[in-house]
Amino acid sequence: MWLLIGLLFCPEAASLLLHNFCIYHIDAPGHELGADVISSDEPLLCVDDIADQVAEVLDFFGLKEVLCLGVTAGAYILTLFAMKYKERVLGLILVTPICRAPSWAEWLYNKVLMNLLYFYGMCSLLKECLLQRYFSKELRGSVQGAESDIILTCRRLLDERQSLNVMRFLQAINVRQDLTEGLKNLQCKTLIFAGESSPFHDESVYMSTKIDRKICALVEVQACGSLVTEEHPNSMIFPLECFLMGFGYQRQQYFASSSSNGSNPASPSGNHSCIAPELLSPASLGIKLKPIRTRVDV
C-alpha cells in the first residue's frame, strides 16, 4: 500500500479517488505487514499464479468488475490479469509498467539482488539498489546530509518486509513472459504514467505503442523515477481526472447552501453536489479517451 501513500494523501486525489471508489489493496504473497516467512517447502509462484490470485481476491469480496492501478511489477501483474480476465477489468492505470521479458542486464541485476536477499537480508546495499529503481537521482540526492521524508519512509517500510518473501516475488518477476502480443488485444482503457528518470521508462513508452491508440494514453513525468505516485503525485491528478471522466466519475464538489429552515451550511444536510447524477454518464459527458502522448513538467 505504501506505493500509493503519496497519491492518496493528495487532497485533490482523495476527492477524486476516495469519493468514487472503494479501494482494495492487494499485496504480493508474503509482502503484507506482519507476514511470516513463506516456507521453503511452498512451491514458487509464477506471474500467472499471482494474476490468478487477483481473481481469487475479487471472488472473495464479490467484485465482478474493477478499475486497476498498479506500479512497476504490480502493473505487469495487473496487465496480465486484464488479459486473462477481460470481462472483469474496466480500465488500467499503470505507473511505469514493464511488459517484456527481462533483458540480460535486468536479469543479472535481479540475480544480484536475490543473492543479497538470501545471504544478507534487507541490507543497506540492497536498499540502495532498490531506491535507485524507485526514485530519481534528484530525490535521492541528499541536501546537507538529510534525506527526504519519502526516502526515509521507504527505507523503514523495506525493513518491515520479509527478505525471503521479497526474493520469491523477485524470482517470479525475473522469469516473466513477454506480453507484447497480448497487448494488441487488450480491450480496456489504459492510462500509463512513465517517470522519465526510471530505468523502466523506455519499456513503459514501448508498452504504450503496442496498445490500441484508441484506448491508451501515455503521460511522461519529467525529473521523476519509477514511483510517480510518491515522487510527483500532483502530476497525476489532471490526467487521472480526465481518464476517470470517461467512465462517468467526477471529483467531489460541494457548495454550501442555506435552506429556508436555517440549516447549517457546513453540515452534511446543508451540502449538495454541484453536478446532477444524470450528467455523470459517459454519454452525457461526451468524453472519450484520446490517443494522447503528454509530457508533464514538474
Question: What is the per-residue pLDDT for 279?
Answer: 36
Question: What is the per-residue pLDDT for 155?
Answer: 93
Question: What is the per-residue pLDDT for 4?
Answer: 74
Backbone torsions φ then ψ of 88, nearest 5 degrees: -105, -10
Question: What is the CA 240 to chain-centroid distance, rounded?
Answer: 12
DSSP 252: -
281 falls within a domain? no
Low-confidence ranges of the chain (pLDDT < 70): 1-3, 142-145, 253-298
Q: What is the Cα–Cα distance from 208 to 183, expressed in whole angstroms?
A: 9
263 falls within a domain? no
Question: What is the per-residue pLDDT for 283?
Answer: 41
266 falls within a domain? no
Domain that holds residue 98: 2-251+287-296
| Count of domains forming the chain | 1
SS3 16: helix
Start-to-end C-alpha separation, the chain: 24
182 falls within a domain? yes
CATH code of the domain containing 86:
3.40.50.1820
Q: pLDDT of 156-185, one tens digit each?
A: 999 999 999 999 999 999 999 999 999 999
203 falls within a domain? yes
12 falls within a domain? yes
186 falls within a domain? yes
Specify the pTM. 0.84
Question: What is the per-residue pLDDT for 234?
Answer: 92
> Quick check: 298 and 224 in contact, CB under 8 A?
yes
Question: What is the per-residue pLDDT for 253?
Answer: 67
Torsion angle, alpha carbons of 178, 181, 77, 249, to 10:
150
233 falls within a domain? yes
Q: What is the Cα–Cα distance from 30 to 220, expressed in whole angstroms?
A: 32
Cβ neighbour number for residue 204 with a 10 Å cutoff: 25
Backbone torsions φ then ψ of 261, nearest 5 degrees: -90, 10
